[in-house]
Structure 1
Amino acid sequence: MAMKENDQIIKENNCETKMGLPCVLKAFTSIFKTGSISNKCCGELVVLGKVCHSALVKRALENPLFKDLNPMTIIVKSIQTWNNCLALIDSLSPSA
């Protein structure tokens, strides 16, 4: 059931077309392995939106490739990556 919901969210919001592949790879590396995400890719992630970000991470967790990873650890890392990017973009944008 959850898998269908994530796929539907991803499809309805065109999530897979909002980020360039290099930034998708950087974001996933920072969440599923170790590494940092560049300012440019943080910008793309924030434009992608939290709904898409969460759905894509959850869908990736359903992939057998990631079956040995702790889902809670990944969710926590994905939230940290999102919050870090949001803070970074907020700090870079000129305040009105």
Structure 2
Amino acid sequence: MASLHVYSVLVILFLTCGAVMATKENDQIIRENNCETKMGLPYVVEASTSIFVTGSISNKCCGKLVLGKVCHSALVNRTLENPLFKDISAATIIAKSIQTWNNCLALIDSPSLSA
């Protein structure tokens, strides 16, 4: 019985440490790639609002968003780790994140914008 208790504590400790490490990893990726600086805070907010709330994003923000998939993924993952978003399905958010990314890529690659 005691070994079950010790095992449970170790599992909880492992999961907690993993979550803390994931947060540090995303923060480090964001910092090392200057993600918030490259995109600009207003565009980070707009992209997040698009993914988490409205589903729409401006052409100008799309141009900033597609500067880097690494930044996009790290910002979404960091937001998912925020307790404020604990009630939102991670799978839904990831799907919306991919949809926003793909929509922006299509918009940026559109011949009408290139002309």
Same fold (TM over 0.5): yes
Deviation at 1:21, TM superposition (A): 2.5
Q: CA deviation at 1:84?
A: 0.5
Structural mapping, 1:1-96, within 5 Å = 1-47=21-67, 49-91=68-110, 92-93=113-114
Cα offset for 1:22? 2.3
TM-score for both structures, normalised by structure 2: 0.75
Unaligned runs of 5+ in 1: none
Deviations 1:54-79 (A, max 9, x none): 00000011111111100111011001
1:13-63 deviation per Cα after TM superposition (whole angstroms, max 9, x unaligned): 11110112222222111101124100011001112x100000000001111
Where relative contact order (Cα < 8 A, 6+ residues apart) is larger, the structure is: 1
State the alpha-carbon separation in 1 of the partners of residues 53 and 75 from structure 2: 16
Q: Secondary structure at the match of 1:79?
A: helix
RMSD of aligned residue pairs (Cα, Å)? 1.2
Q: What's the % identity of the aligned pairs? A: 82
User: How many residue pairs align between the two structures?
Assistant: 93
Where has structure 1 moved over 3 Å in runs of 4 or more? none
Q: Which structure 2 segments of 5+ residues have no match?
A: 1-20
